[in-house]
Amino acid sequence: MEIVVNSPNVKYLENVIEAKYEYQYTRAIREENKIVVIPKSENLVIRTSRKVPRLGVMLVGWGGNNGSTFTAAVIANRLGLSWPTRRGIQKANWFGSLTQAATVPLGDDVFVPFSQLLPTVHPDDIVIDGWDISNYNLYESMERAQVLEPALIQQLKPHMIGMKPRPSVYYPHFIAANQKSRADNVIEGTKLEQVERLMRDISQFKNLPMWTKSLFCGQPTPSASVISSKALMIPPKI
């Protein structure tokens, strides 16, 4: 079902949807013993392509619990898999997904799926790649994670056993200590050589990198000086 906005601020052109939007915000200025709040606005023109592009996602930590489970969910939904559980047959679905399961009120008790508001990539069509410090393939990672039901894991095995993460950067002081034993898929060389390798990976795939880790050692994010040209020439301490 197509949604059409009947407004002088919205144009439906051949290739794009063009919308004029007034962005309102405030500035706050301290003046001696008072704070002056100044309303501001900017006129924006937002263009949305009417042709849905392909979406590739590269996951940092692809072989971890989050990365392998996300990949399994995409494939299971794409294939329409179902599997037995203690509570009966479960079918893959996107329940809990903001774009696939949520609805938006448009007015007068009319609700539409979030995904129909604008041309949107369907999650079944996402192309996945990524990096990990472990050389486990995604099937092995999925088994190690112990998140999914065994019956589903076996159905996914032929689709995930050939997926292997690209070598990743390993700095022990930025990764939980319990990950050291699985660091057998790392990029060697100086920091500059590692950055150049990551840039080549991203350029080859043309993607959106995402961080998947939920556990880390709690060290602060490195400052800009860490990635200076001088620092990049220093081999990492493993």
Band of the pLDDT at 155, cuts 50, 70, 90? very high
What's the pLDDT band for 138 if we cut at 50, 70, 90? very high
Cβ-count burial 76-114 (b if 16+ within 10 Å, e if not): bbeeebebeeeeeeeebebeeeeebeeeeeeeeeeeeeb
Which residues on adjacent β-strands are paired with residue 25?
40
- Provide the 10 A C-beta neighbour count for residue 3: 12
Which of 110-119, 141-150, 209-218 is predicted least confidently?
209-218
Count the helix, strand and coil residues of the chain and give each as a percent rounded to the nearest 5: 30, 30, 40
Predicted confidence at residue 211, as pLDDT, reads 58
Read off the pTM.
0.77
Residue type, 104: V
206 has a pLDDT exceeding 70? yes
Lowest-confidence region among 64-73, 147-156, 171-180: 171-180
Tell me the average pLDDT across 77-87.
Answer: 96
For residue range 120-136, what is the model confidence (pLDDT) as tens digits? Answer: 899 999 999 999 999 99
Domains of the chain plus CATH, in order, are 10-49 (no CATH), 56-216+223-232 (3.40.50.720)
The pLDDT, as a whole number, for residue 98 is 87
- Residue 42 is predicted with a pLDDT of 97
> How far is the C-alpha of 90 from the C-alpha of 195, rounded, in Å?
43
Residue 69 has pLDDT above 50, yes or no: yes
Question: For residue range 6-61, what is the model confidence (pLDDT) as tens digits?
Answer: 999 999 999 999 999 999 999 999 999 999 999 999 999 999 999 998 889 999 99
* pLDDT score of 225: 43
More confident residue, 156 or 114: 156
Tell me the pLDDT band of 82, cut-offs 50, 70 and 90. Answer: very high
What SS3 class is residue 134? coil
Tell me, what's the pLDDT at 146?
94
